[in-house]
Amino acid sequence: MDNESANRPLLSSLPNHPQQRKRRFRRCKTAPSTDIFSNLDKKNTSYLNSNSFFKGLHPNFRLVALFLALYLFIGSTCFYLVRNQITGKKTNGILDSLYFCVVTMTTVGYGDLVPDSVASKLLACMFVFSGMAIVSLFLSNAADYLVEKQEVLLIKALSQRNNSGEHQMGKEIEADRVKYKFLVATGALVMLIIVGTLILSMVEKLSIVDAFYCVCATITTLGYGDKSFSTTGGRVFAIFWILISTICVAQFFLYLAEMHAEHRQRVLVNWVLTRKLTFVDLEAADLDDDDVVSSAEFVIYKLKEMGKINQEDVALVMDEFENLDFDQSGAISKSDLILAQSSQE
């Protein structure tokens, strides 16, 4: 064996050898890797890792319940105190106050209960804004969590049905994550529409068409007011159903828009990766003007074309690199890192 062949394994093990740099670059990630599967059943093999995308979507339900209960308690109390200044179809003072509070918070506004004094109108103005803030900041997260819980069950069922490996199934779920959310939100919305229509038909004695019409006017927060919940039983149901259904509709359209945007992004990525490169592309990708495009420069150029990053992002990262490259050698070593950190102290 000649000296060159004998030294090849040694050279390839050096940190700055081209083969080693290429291998390390291909393994490079922008963040620590996470597995998509964590423990769904403690007795069985784990399906979803605790660091998966499900974890970050779990809201603090104690905080959600606290803000919601506080809002409903204060709002109901205030509207109960001015109940004689609110006109319309009334059933029970406390129930009507809570019902009016929910209708105001969700901006449904049927018109079956209407403020009829300066004090009640000012209270309604104040609680509609604070209620919308609570819905947008907290309750949407709660609905997102419920969708995620259903998504976990859907993923588990698909995994068992397809008998695919955890890694392969994880990649498929990650790729179609928004689609699964949209399907679950669609199913929940259809169920809420059916339940609302049946309750309005049976409790409020509306025809199926009028009940469905009232449901659509409610969940979209149109609230025409010609059809609404006017009985005691109907308003008890409405307090919970209106909250859940209006949030579910918001999530449905959010996922629909997100799915459309993701589809457009995938089309763009596919176009970027399949189109033929030109000399103009090579010139644009050559960041250091040495007439050669390295793998790093090629990746950056493609990411910019896909819209994943922009020139400002690259400039910020390069500024940080130059600050850490203390000896200006074009590479960051441990000594550079130590010197750069010590100079900042």
Per-residue pLDDT of the chain (345 residues; tens, 9 = 90+): 444 444 444 334 434 444 444 443 433 344 333 333 344 344 343 434 434 333 444 445 567 678 888 889 999 999 999 999 999 888 888 999 999 999 988 888 888 889 999 988 999 899 888 888 877 766 556 555 655 655 565 556 555 555 555 555 555 555 577 788 888 889 999 999 999 999 999 999 999 999 999 999 999 888 788 888 989 999 999 999 998 898 888 888 888 888 887 778 778 778 777 888 888 888 888 777 787 888 888 888 888 887 778 878 888 888 888 888 878 887 888 887 888 778 776
DSSP 277: P
CB 304 within 8 Å of CB 272: no
CB 36 within 8 Å of CB 174: yes
Q: Tokens for 341?
A: 């950190």
Q: How far, in Å, CA of 47 to CA of 35, rounded?
A: 9
Q: How far, in Å, CA of 210 to CA of 207, rounded?
A: 5
User: What are the CA-CA distances from residue 277 to residues 4, 13, 68, 262, 321 (Å)?
Assistant: 36, 33, 56, 25, 29
Tokens 């779990």 sit on residue: 58
Q: How far, in Å, CA of 6 to CA of 13, rounded?
A: 13
Q: How far, in Å, CA of 201 to CA of 7, rounded?
A: 84
Which residues lie across from 48 on neighbouring strands? 38
- What pTM did the predictor assign? 0.60
